[in-house]
């Protein structure tokens, strides 16, 4: 696969290249789970221009886009061009003035024919700043959804928001709400009817948006898909500083070759002992791995090859695994990074990349000003300062989803077991807190909220690395599945509309030419896939069995009350 330059790649984006774009063009998609289409366009697309929307805002542009390939204006450089395999649609843009000091750009795509009667809100990634098309907007359109996305109000430069709390609110929660209101209003105007059902899906920052919306606006969506949620946002970005400081200390930087060596050692120490196949190149459940980094090969004096670590490099790796803690109290600020994720995107070699601070240190610029020397961050006093200002706006740690449940809402959350950026123990920690809020009843929680740990997947999808069943129709996936068993979005619609709760999802890894390389079941927590024997690339040779409960070391309660 030919990749784009990582220097332009924000956190939460996938790496799309020529081969992936070609595969997308070759793939079809399910019909969105609809038994029949609901409506064709009732009014001319261009007639929407100038329309005042429910909840505020005016339509800026509205244009008919013919079926085929399309390159939107101002397409971000990290997204493939052109967008391919599109049905004919009406493209609508809106700018909503959210305060005298802030605004949000929204884009809505409406199928001209074969609309399935549903609205799909989609999340963004990283610091946002632009409409993103491969977080579900394009793929939702192919499935027959009317779809929407926003720039989260951070267009141009997210690092220049010091002293602008209204802009912080847009990023934290308001932009997604405004997108939702605008999208539904435009659907109503265009089709002359409201959507039958409304769904939201997002990963990374989009996962933060998803949990935020369920907690703050529990009646907006019937179903919400939460991928790798950055919902503990202030502490997540603190972990980025922790890791960056460790891996940029004098003599501590690791090459990609060293990162691959470390990953091979951690996987070899534990593979096949956690239910997976002994021939896997990844861990099914890193929580069950007791790898000791002190067993990594140490370089001889004067040597520094990819087959060993120097003393400063080993110290940095140990700190990376350990995760950030308060040096005075010992309280955990965020989980450490799981074994088996060392060489993936955002792993050991990338944490020291020059583009990382520019993309991920924006909350600290907001509070401390720009420029800001992140090496001066105090993991005791500065944690409180950041949390006091930003946690009420950015973090979505509230486990009380009773209003969302009472409204009939359904939620699916997933994370990659090899994700070195948004680490899965934090998602498990949140899920178990929801179970506690539901009276400690796992069955009651699973009646509306289910979590899936995806073995062998990095951040959000296989495009960010991993050899497991990494594609299942999620945001940032390279494929629109043709089989509903491997389509998380259709699994969600079936749960909401047919009361068919998803027990397992089939994850697939494809070759560069689009052939199936691996398939494996993705099991509902606390179950994990258990290898039965035979070809480990076939899902039928695994069965979902109960695994351990709990997350291991994760954020202390003190830092979850913010």
Active site residues: 204, 419, 459
Alpha-carbon gap, residue 240 to 323, rounded angstroms: 10
- Distance in angstroms between the alpha carbons of the first and the last residue of the chain: 42
How far is Cα 222 from Cα 427, in angstroms, rounded to an integer? 21
- Smallest Cα–Cα separation from 309: which of 241, 353, 242, 247? 247
Q: Which residues are within 8 A (CB) of 333 and not within 5 positions of it... i.e. 6 or more apart?
A: 235, 238, 239, 242, 323, 324, 325, 326, 379, 383, 555, 556, 559
Cα-based distances in Å from 202 to 134, 207, 444, 474: 11, 5, 24, 8
Asked if residues 430 and 411 have their Cβ atoms less than 8 Å apart, the reply is no
Label residues 143-164 b or e (16+ Cβ within 10 Å = b): bbbbbbbbbbbbbeebbebeee
* d(C-alpha 222, C-alpha 121), whole Å: 11
Is residue 14 helix, strand or coil?
coil
Say which residues have a Cβ less than 8 Å from residue 49's Cβ, sequence separation at least 6: 59, 60, 61, 62
**Distance (Å, whole) CA 430 – CA 328:** 25
55's tokens: 């909840």
For the packed helices 381-394 and 233-247, what is the interaxial angle rounded to 10 degrees? 140
């Amino acid at each position: 696969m030919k990749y784009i330059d990582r220097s332009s790649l924000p956190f939460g984006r996938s790496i799309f290249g020529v081969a992936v774009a070609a595969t997308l063009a070759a793939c079809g998609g399910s019909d969105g789970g609809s038994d029949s289409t609901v409506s064709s366009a009732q009014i001319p697309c261009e007639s929407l221009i100038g329309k005042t929307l429910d909840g505020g805002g005016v339509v800026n542009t509205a244009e008919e886009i013919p079926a085929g390939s399309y390159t939107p204006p101002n397409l971000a450089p990290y997204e493939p061009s052109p967008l391919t395999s599109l049905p004919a649609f009406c493209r609508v843009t809106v700018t909503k003035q959210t305060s005298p000091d802030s605004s949000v750009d929204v884009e809505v795509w409406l199928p001209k024919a074969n609309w399935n009667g549903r609205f799909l809100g989609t999340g963004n990634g990283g610091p946002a700043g632009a409409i993103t098309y491969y977080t579900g907007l394009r793929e939702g359109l192919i499935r027959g959804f009317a779809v929407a996305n926003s720039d989260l109000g951070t267009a141009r430069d997210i690092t220049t928001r010091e002293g602008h709390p209204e802009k912080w609110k847009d990023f934290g929660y308001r932009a997604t709400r405004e997108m939702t209101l605008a999208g539904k209003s435009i659907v109503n105007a265009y089709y002359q009817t409201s959507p039958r059902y409304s769904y939201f899906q997002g990963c990374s920052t989009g996962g933060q948006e998803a949990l935020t919306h369920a907690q703050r606006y529990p009646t907006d969506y019937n179903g919400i898909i939460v991928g790798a949620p950055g919902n503990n946002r202030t502490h997540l970005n603190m972990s980025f500083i922790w890791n960056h400081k460790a891996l940029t200390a004098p003599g501590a930087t690791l090459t990609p070759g060293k990162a691959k060596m470390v990953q091979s050692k951690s996987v070899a120490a534990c593979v096949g002992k956690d239910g997976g196949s002994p021939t896997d190149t990844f861990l099914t459940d890193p929580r069950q791995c007791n790898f000791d980094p002190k067993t990594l090969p140490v370089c001889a004096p004067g040597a520094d090859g990819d087959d060993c670590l120097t003393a400063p490099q080993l110290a940095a790796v140990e700190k990376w695994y350990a995760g950030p803690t308060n040096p005075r109290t010992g309280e955990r600020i965020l989980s450490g990074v799981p074994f088996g994720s060392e060489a993936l995107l955002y792993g050991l070699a990338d944490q020291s990349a020059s583009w990382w601070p520019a993309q991920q240190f924006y909350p600290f610029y907001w509070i401390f000003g720009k420029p800001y020397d992140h090496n001066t961050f105090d993991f005791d006093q500065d944690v409180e300062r950041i949390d006091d200002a930003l946690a009420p706006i950015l973090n979505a740690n509230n486990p009380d989803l009773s209003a969302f449940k009472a409204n009939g809402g359904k939620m699916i959350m997933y994370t990659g077991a090899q994700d070195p950026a948004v680490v899965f123990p934090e998602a498990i920690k949140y899920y178990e807190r929801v179970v506690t809020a539901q009276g400690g009843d796992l069955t009651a929680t699973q009646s509306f909220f289910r979590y899936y740990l995806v073995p062998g997947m990095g951040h959000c999808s296989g495009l960010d690395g991993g050899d497991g069943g990494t594609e299942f129709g999620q945001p940032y996936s390279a494929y629109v599945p043709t089989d509903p068993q491997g389509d998380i979005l259709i699994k969600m619609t079936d749960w909401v509309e047919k009361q068919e709760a998803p027990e397992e999802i089939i994850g697939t890894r494809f070759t560069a030419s689009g052939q199936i390389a691996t398939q494996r079941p993705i099991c509902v927590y606390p179950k994990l896939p258990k290898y039965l024997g035979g070809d480990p690339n076939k899902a039928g040779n695994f069965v979902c069995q109960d695994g351990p409960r709990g997350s291991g070391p994760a954020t202390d309660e003190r830092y979850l009350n913010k």
